[in-house]
Amino acid sequence: MLHTNSDMHLFVAAVEEQGFAAAARRLAISPSTVSKAINRLEAALSVRLVDRDTRHFVATSEGLTFYHGCCRAIEAMQDAEASVSGSKLQAKGKLRVSVSASTAEARIGPMMHEFHAAYPEIDIAFHLRNGYVDPIEAGVDITISHEPPVRDTFVARRLCYTPLLVCAAPSYLERRGRPQRPTDLRDHNCILSTREVFNTWQFEEAGELRPQPVHGAFRASQGSMLRQLALSGVGIANLMTYQVRDDLRAGRLVELLPRFRPTQGIPLYAVYHDRRNLNARIRCFVDFLADILTRDDDAPRPYPREVGT
């Protein structure tokens, strides 16, 4: 039989701190207490949860699965306690957020001092990655992504639209010339993303959005690398405006086809599990993002309603 409540808490702390001693310091208990708790769990489950020796402490695949389940169980208990004690709206506890490095660094990270001031009892762990990740498979509460979810059980709240613009370095334009219309891009080397959501280049003409097929010799998974390729002069890139603002002002990059630039960019979503399970931490964080992104000149249009896929 599992000694569930306290042992689960100790196991979660050990995984997060990557060791008995660090978990013990965090909880102000002895390392042996943490070790015995994990031994009890492994005996009850008949499975090895962690591989450990004097130098290493790593959760096994079964241990990671159990860890994510423990986190959900602990949070469900905290929410249940809060709901009957009347403190649910205080919004406290841990929040795990998956987001791309470029979005985190440019748009979310700089705003977190405001969030922490408003919700000091919410602790956030940011998991940086490329592309969309399934919140359940990744063991996170929220995924911030330009790609919608693939599961029907997820909700995608559209936070804003992120405008894109086509640009190139002056050195490239000196060699290859400047395109005058979107169709001219067929004769240019375009820098593409490894994520197909970014590879349909849209242009607005006569009030209509029209896709323009493009091709090129270079692809990259990170916006920072796409920008560096554009700066090096190897081709034309279609980048988010916040990524190239300073480069445009300094003349390192030149915007192309500005009169065909779409007034609406690509949507940025907050993806999480079915809204019936929405806790105060998630709601406060998502509401904050939806509000804060409207202050960004590059994201003028908020979309407050939750939508399915």
Domain ranges of the chain: 4-81, 91-159+266-307, 164-260
User: CATH: 3.30.70.2190, 1.10.10.10, 3.40.50.450, 1.10.260.40. Which one for 4-81?
Assistant: 1.10.10.10
pLDDT at 301 over 90: no
Average pLDDT over residues 4-33: 85
pTM over 0.85: no
How much is the pLDDT for 50? Answer: 92
How much is the pLDDT for 226? Answer: 95
- Considering 21-25, 274-278, 292-296, the range whose residues carry the highest mean pLDDT is 21-25
How much is the pLDDT for 86? Answer: 52
pLDDT (tens digit, 9 = 90+) per residue, 157-212?
Answer: 889 888 899 999 999 999 999 999 999 999 999 999 988 778 889 999 888 889 99
The token pair at 193 is: 């993303």
Report the alpha-carbon angle 117-305-278, nearest 5.
60
How much is the pLDDT for 1? Answer: 45
164-260 carries CATH number 3.40.190.10: yes
Report the alpha-carbon angle 76-82-85, nearest 5.
145
CATH of the domain spanning 91-159+266-307: 3.40.190.10
Of the listed ranges 67-76, 197-206, 224-233, 283-292, the least confidently predicted one is 67-76
How much is the pLDDT for 302? Answer: 35
Tell me if 296 sits within 8 A of 242, measured CB to CB. yes
- Considering 145-149, 193-197, 214-218, the range whose residues carry the highest mean pLDDT is 214-218
Average pLDDT over residues 110-133: 89
Give yes or no on whether 4-81 and 164-260 have one common fold: no
The token pair at 81 is: 């306690």
Average pLDDT over residues 294-300: 53
How much is the pLDDT for 300? Answer: 36
Q: How confident is the model at residue 85 (pLDDT cuts 50, 70, 90)?
A: low
pLDDT at 55 over 80: no
Average pLDDT over residues 81-85: 63
Average pLDDT over residues 300-308: 36
